[in-house]
Amino acid sequence: MALLIGLVLVFGIIGWLLNALILKTILKLFKVENPSTKKALLILILTWIVEVVAILVFAIIGLAGIAPILGFIVAYIVFHLLLKKYYQSGWGKSLGIYITNIIATIVLSLLIILPVRMFIVQPFSVEGASMSPTYNPGDYLLIKEFGNTYVRGDVVIFRYPKDPKQIFIKRIVGLPNETIDAKDGILQVNNEPLSAPYITKGITSVTKITLRKDEYFLIGDDPEQSLDSRIFGAVSKDKIIGKPIYTIKGLVKQ
């Protein structure tokens, strides 16, 4: 949790500074003389604080349905008063700067967030008990998608081979070119018993399989509750999305 809070603070500070630079640029476009990053940051922070407080107050007094709109109006008034104080801006110019800044901030956020979400890190919420006790229903994971290598014992997030729209979480127990089988409840790799302390119960119903050069054999830590490679077969590397790098226990209510 401390790491997550730290990351939020770092990205929050970076976000505020970028927004201040954006506002400074917009002020220049609107012919405001001598805009400064420091004043732009102060204007943004004060406006945001007022907007949040206004929305909460309107919600408390029974105007929750229109609280965001009223908060937006109050924030604009404060934004204008600050611009008037520092730069003698009129109502019309302030409104233009305010709306332009909102649009620019949204566009920049999308340009940053979407690539990160699609190609680097994405969230995943655990459902079901197949990975218990390692991961339980409601655990929230951040998945690293880029630059992964996979070894035995890694937990991975992947697309269900029979329905790629479904996303599963399991553990790698079999690597490319290995032969997987089970004997007396113990998983066999290349006809040798596999020591796998993360698998909490006996392994049954494994049809002997030799993996191809890009395939992995995946099983849940609780095999009795797991739909995995024993049923749907090996999973090719191109179906694997990534592996967890951070976990928040019990964040999502089931």
The Cα–Cα gap between 202 and 219 comes to: 12
Residue type, 80: H
- pLDDT (tens digit, 9 = 90+) per residue, 49-90? 999 999 999 999 999 899 999 999 999 999 999 999 999 999
Q: Which residues contact 136 (CB under 8 A, 6 or more apart)?
A: 126, 129, 249, 250
The domain total for the chain is 2
Residues 117 and 130 in one domain: no
pTM: 0.64
Q: What is the CATH number of the domain that holds 225?
A: 2.10.109.10
Task: Judge whether 34 lies within some domain.
Answer: yes
Which regions in the chain score pLDDT beneath 50?
none
User: Which of 121, 150, 180 is the last residue in one of the domains?
Assistant: 121
Task: Judge whether 244 lies within some domain.
Answer: yes
CB 246, CB 155: distance < 8 Å: no
Residues 41 and 90 in one domain: yes
Task: Judge whether 254 lies within some domain.
Answer: no
CB 82, CB 89: distance < 8 Å: no
Task: Judge whether 253 lies within some domain.
Answer: no
| Parent domain of 66 | 2-121
Q: DSSP state, 33?
A: S
Q: At what angle do helices 67-87 and 91-115 cross, to 10 degrees?
A: 120
What's residue 117's pLDDT? Answer: 60
Residues 156 and 98 in one domain: no
H-run or E-run covering 144: strand 140-144
Tokens of 226: 């797991």
What's residue 241's pLDDT? Answer: 93
User: Which of 61, 89, 121 is the last residue in one of the domains?
Assistant: 121
